[in-house]
Amino acid sequence: SKIYGTMFLGLLITALAAWFTASSNTMINLLYGTPAVYLFIIAELVIVFSLSARISKISYGTAQIMFYAYSIVNGITLSSVFLAYNLGVIYTAFFTAAIAFGVMAVYGMTTKKDLTKIGNVLMMLLIGVIVASVISIFVGNSQFDLIISFAAVAIFVGLVAYDTQKLKSFYYATNGDYQMQRKIGIIGALSLYLDFINIFFYLLRIFGNGRRD
């Protein structure tokens, strides 16, 4: 429950940061009128890799600050969502993502089936989607983009169940080490946060007929 609470707080912070940025002409001009957007993207990557690589060495408080800092930076870079899509489409994508996420999280928490093999397959398929997304940039085919988006949604929905079950395994592997449990909880919240964001993002692409003119 604490992991999901942390994740949802991160999502809320991201949404507020995205809305604030999209509502500010100063921020819009800074992001899309200068190379600053690339600095924010680099900052995101640095935070994620640093948090993942140093989770056993840093304190829980530092890990928490890094997670929420990532949520803010990610919200700033995702502000383009409010500029590119109508609110109706954003709401539809969000609630669809929330329902899919909730169903698969419950499944991952309650199923007795080992999802390790499925998770490994999903990770390989994700690499395929990333490669296909790069190719689509040069191909510029809307039908191809749509197929990629549906595939990505299916993959990340599956990863929600896999990541949830993996967190249960990590919890038991800590042997009661409370501090490690808290820090692994931050990594878990980050994993689930990224799953949700990607489901939401690809659903936006699927519901792209609601783009602003």
User: What pLDDT, on the 0 to 100 scale, is given for residue 3?
Assistant: 87
For the beta carbon of residue 3, count every other beta carbon within 10 angstroms.
22
User: What is the pTM for the complete model shown?
Assistant: 0.87
Per the CB < 8 A criterion, the answer to whether 76 and 22 are in contact is: no
Local structure of 85: helix, strand or coil = strand
E strands, 42-190, are: none
Q: How far, CA to CA in Å, does 43 sit from each of 6, 26, 89, 114, 203?
A: 21, 20, 29, 35, 25
Q: How confident is the prediction along the chain (213 residues), in pLDDT tens digits per residue?
A: 788 899 999 999 999 999 999 988 888 888 877 777 888 889 998 998 888 888 878 888 898 999 999 999 999 999 888 888 888 899 999 999 999 999 999 998 888 888 888 888 999 999 998 898 888 777 777 788 888 999 999 999 999 999 998 887 777 767 766 677 788 888 889 999 999 999 999 999 898 754 544
